[in-house]
Chains A and B, each alone.
Chain A
């Protein structure tokens, strides 16, 4: 084949591929109706990193969204509309997330809400989603949203500054005064550090070393030696499973393990599995404590969530790993809240039902407490007002659409996560001055 012909062939092939993609998108847009016709499927976007350094965020979200839409669809959907979850990978950075958000809003039929964005891309994409009038149940912990001006922004997971206070309070309660901060260099991990340092100091403690760890190195011997020289009594940490396993096993070999207090990331199944494999179950049981948002795996709402989760194995790989995951629970709650708000507003249009979101979660006189979509739907059909109490517990939004509660401390005992104590919302509020 002559070079020129080859070039033309290559150009034609690539152009066809591009045109096909655009044509598909255009066709999807053409199919998307302006209003939601009868029985049209409603879509909830899972707008989170499914690749990149924070790729573990996305599957956690799937573990909440799928069980929720499964139950809603089993109950006949929302006003006859089935509902579905759609993955939109932000890849964990603003440059990829911005076109992803624009693409999702342009091409997804009947987009009624979004789970996410995460801290990786929230500041760049929350304004876009708000502009597009898409209600979002974010999982970013950034303190920048503590006083959010965006009406379509809703946060039922704790802010990172709250997490820092909870870790510091638990260490203080255990009598530690010298601590090391060992956090991954990724955005999600680093956003915990400033308030942790501040809060621990407020409580009379001292962060003797603050390490920002490059993830997934083959060895952390240098960092471990520096840590040992600083003589901390306890280690605060949030790193990915592989990094945690390497770091702590080297610490164990060089010096012996020091008590560890981790964030909710360290209570996720992959982290527990990797680190237990590296340092042993006995050391884990003795020296490790994880702090996570208070979402006890008990009660009727959690039982409903967990039952649906375990029946979702076709769409959620190894669903059991998300049974006690507070983030999966809050994503589940986010979908239910939006669906109930649609019923309360008698509209699937986000600009209509968004304002009704607090109406289905706030407590109030004469309200009926419901713990599932089905219960809420039945009560609303009777003309009653409802308060949805979710798998993650009660939800009360403040004027900035933030709702954060208590934290629980958990340990790994006999291969099972056991709750051993609680840091209350009042204690956190007292320390933070909010």
Chain B
């Protein structure tokens, strides 16, 4: 089991992978990806029960679904470095004839991906469908999902949130990346959603806040607590307070880097801030 320092080193490499992927094709979404690096590393390196290799059905293991598919660079980096596909393939991100598409997809058969996402608001329904099947199969393992906070403006989420509590889907942990940013500005400015906690609670979910969503120990503790809340009749929501662009100073806390690639100079600065730990692809 890796210690915190090892996980933080892993995160450093993931951040490098993120900015290098996006820089390599001058497109993609670094901001949200960087903000969720600790969450992905904690999930795949420490928290989830995973089998060797990959099969679509994922029986007898935990499952993860990414709903806000545009943060694919962090997903791809962590999947590759967790052994799902060769790390060198990150170099094909968003390029022609690649399995590493702009947004995650099953279409080209990239191991680790179980659903296409990109058009927002669909992932929670898929996750709770998978959670329902786990219950039918008598499979005690959990289903995790990740959603953007701006993404909650899509109405389908609330259909899913309503269904999950009404049907006691208590083997599902849905995390909301609460970075307060979306394309056109802050979430409060674009469409103020009020208290997301109050909304989930009103819909019958168990909700817990992870105030330091970019602190590895805090993320690990939050996920551990969330796991302890499963199996008790309620779906579980983690409100993960993150900083968009975390770990690259000039990208932090602004929506400006939602979907913009760094230039050569900016890449150099970003890489200097995040040392190579596992070897660049």
| A and B associate in one complex | no
Interfacial residues, chain A to chain B (CB-CB below 8 A) = none
